[in-house]
Structure 1
Amino acid sequence: MNRYYFWLAARSLKGSPWLSGLMVLAIALGIGTFMTSYAIFHAMSGNPIPHKSHQLFNVRLDNWSPEEAFAEPNEPPSQMTYRDARYLAEAGAARHQTAMFRVGMAVQPHNPDIKPLRTFGRMTYSDFFAMFEPPFLHGGPWTRQDDRGRGAVTVISRDLNDRVFGGDNSVGRKLRLDGADYTVVGVLDTFDPLPRYYDVVNNGPFAEGDDFYLPFTLNDRLELRPNGNNSCWSDPAEDSYQGYLDSECVWVALWVQLDSPAQRRDYQAFIDNYVGEQKRLGRFPRPLNNRLDDVMSWLRVQRVVDDDTHIQLGLSFAFLLVCLLNTVGLMLAKFLRRAGEVSVRRALGASRGQIFRQYLTESALLGAAGALLGLGLASLGLAVARRLSPDMDMLTRLDPGLALFALAVSVTAALLAGLYPTWRACAIAPASQLKTQ
């Protein structure tokens, strides 16, 4: 019977191509507009590490000015001072912990045929790899012993490995950065969490990833400045690099892994006690205001999905509703025009339920056709967005899951749009129509 309904629906659509085309186009425009906005919203608001986002926490300490908060309402700084981050990263109070900041360095390939490259990387601890789980193509991370010994080792991205080493397994080879050689211990495979939650402050949540990773402790001799945000509420006590490290300037991020609520409570007590000790030394003039934000809370705090994105999504959904209302009107006109046909079928024994299913089948076919055309329009809209904003490349992709979602939304919307016209068509009294035939 369902096959028969589909045959009737296809015949009906073919019998009125212009009207059917208008309905398909109305649905497609609504779906295309909505899916263009939703694809961007979905990418921006997704959980980048769902299996452990509740175990990873960004740590914030409020060392800001006593006169005003870092941000309203009473938000502590998004990063922390070098000395606080260094101490907490090496205190070992959590299962895993890492401090990090972004740097820019020149790669000078040993192959004279390859020109020097300007690259950006991350000073961090070995726990970075255990916490954020980037996949390795070759080798692996350095060890905690390398952290303690300031080992001249590095992990590089797949892209940098391709550019400098031609895609070969470069583990054990030397990479020259700013005139110094570092031994490659690992090559990452593609690592593009979206959003890039561990560094939304400096690198941005949707920017390209890091080219290399170096032990944080190497900065004891490298004395690098951060390539990112640096905020100070008071000037360093002395005009030197050590004075900068000892200042209240915030430019280092700290993340910890806490596997249970009990561990989170213990770590909160640990950082509160640490700040309490620092207060007795004359630091941290503001009231106690330390924060542990898990991944999704951190993304909300940093407003990764801004108000404009929510407004854009709401407007696109409203446009979809307008398109569906137009589709309802077109369907109503079409179905009521076929009142005589419905009356004949009712007189020959067809039930209202059978008529109802037949017309809903036709609505579903309209929705499926609208979805296919709408996906094409959405792909075109996302391509335009990529062309206008190349840095949005990661956000403007329509993956298979979103395509299936668009199909489901379109068919469901078409079915809902067809309910009222179908009910009106089925409510017609057959006798009154047959008298006029």
Structure 2
Amino acid sequence: MTTNVVHCPALFLTAPASNQGKTTITAALARYFTEQDKVVRVFKTGPDYLDPQILAQASKQPVEQLDIWMAGDEYCQKMLFDAAQEADLILVEGAMGMFDGDPSSADLAARFNIPAAIVMDVQGMAQTAAALATGLANFRGDVKIAGLIANRCGSERHAQLIRDALPEDLPLLISLKRDEEVTLPERHLGLVQASEVGDELEECFTAAVRWLSETEDKTLLSLPDAVAFYAPEQDVTLPDIGTPLAGKTIAIAKDEAFSFIYDANLRVLAKLGAQVTFFSPLHDQYLPVADALWLPGGYPELHAQKLSQNTAMLDQIQTFFAAHKPILAECGGMLYSLETLTDLESNTYPMLGLLKGAGAMRGKRGCQGMQTAPLPEGDIRGHAHHRSLSENTPEPLSHGRRQRHPAPGEAIYREKGLTASYLHLFFASNFAATAALFNGA
């Protein structure tokens, strides 16, 4: 007998701003309850690649991105409903500040009625932390607030000052001391990839569980109240166009340089009938036999010299391109497709040369935001997040449409079978366009 509602304890971790400790605390909670033999399913708000890698290792479960605009309301509903059927606890980590963006973290929490815990770095303030938390809690009436998590708290006296200043309906859930042992490693685009620092992360998680256990406030270390998760009226994760990629093999770059791959995108390709295989532009000499290539984003700038020295792989991909076969190159994949790439130390290396132009890193300055890619195959939603620029490129096929702003978004290039852009595409937003893109239609 099937059911259209499942109840599961759930908590949404949000904050007044970025860099308050949301990922650290979400990961710590995930590992704490996992060690209590609980199945913990974690979700990340927005189109984030790096935080989910950390959270997946902490929870020992797959982590999905939830974004109402990019993926759609019913898609998010389906992901949560499926998770609730197997989990003892669902944790959702917000993005940026609680009310930032449209839709915001608050919108997602309100839509699915998940109580929110406000994570705040309280270093340098006491009663003011209570005032800020109270303002956030009362800014909108449709968001349930579970309480405050006081991060980087100096002492029990510090915690008591905050606790006494909070209203009765806004409890202090936990106060966490300053502890550099649980700080997650970062670089220019955010957190370091989990695959690069697996052992170091395990040390962080061990310290984080101890960090949670040593606090005098234990409220957060009990399972939260159950939330009702409902099945969507239709399963939007299943394509209604059959399997147009049946018989096709898609080779996907995946290694230290290229790893920004949504698991959701891999599922879409499989449901469309494609076989996927992975290869390493860094380490492999030969491409696998394939009908199409996907060069996803990542950190090619950190491996530019080695990529340029793997001339066998460069030749293989250039030959594939010359045959007019479909290639999708996203962000870091697009940089790899250009003639040259200049890294963070201003060293310039030759790249694939499939597309005229030069890529270069530019330190802290960058571009990010949600955009739609208007392709001849159809519109596919996605996002941009990069701290590099490309110059002397050809006339673009089109530009991304920004979610809210009328200015042109990222340039989208089409050369032979190559489609290249800074945009990271979310395939489930348009099954038919995705199939046509990899079919080379």
**Could you say whether these structures have the same fold, taking a TM-score greater than 0.5 normalized by the shorter chain as the test?**
no
> TM-score with structure 1 length normalisation?
0.22
Ranked by relative contact order (alpha carbons within 8 Å, sequence separation 6 or more), the top structure is 1
Name the one with the larger helix percent.
1
> TM-score with structure 2 length normalisation?
0.22
Name the one with the larger strand percent.
2
